[in-house]
Amino acid sequence: MIWSTWWAWVVGGVLVGVVEVLLPGYIFLGFAMGAVAVGLLILIGVLGGNLPLMLLVFAVLSLAAWAALRAVFPYQSGEVRVVKRDINKN
């Protein structure tokens, strides 16, 4: 099946990474990193053809990647500019 081939996971991860470039927010990047990691684990022979196990490893690795990204790039609360006065009013 297609989910047991390593390159399918890597290609899926790259495609999700492209989605992250189009819609930034570090959410899709965690999924992309998880998919690429599962593809590499299949390539080196750690994961076999067991789909539920692959999905579980994908979920755990994606969550870990997302948590690591949030630690490295924390939410900046000062990024939003609040306008208190309208420049068009006299």
For each of the chain's 90 residues, which pLDDT tens digit applies? 777 888 999 999 999 999 999 987 778 999 999 999 999 999 998 987 789 999 999 999 999 999 998 888 776 666 667 778 877 776
The C-alpha angle with vertex 55 and arms to 65 and 72, in degrees rounded to 5, equals 5
Residue 27 has a pLDDT of 82
Q: How many Cβ atoms from other residues are within 10 Å of residue 82's Cβ?
A: 4
CA–CA dist 43, 74 (Å, integer): 32
CB 37 within 8 A of CB 66: no
The pLDDT of residue 76 is 63
- Give 3's contacts (C-beta < 8 A, 6+ positions apart): 9, 51, 54
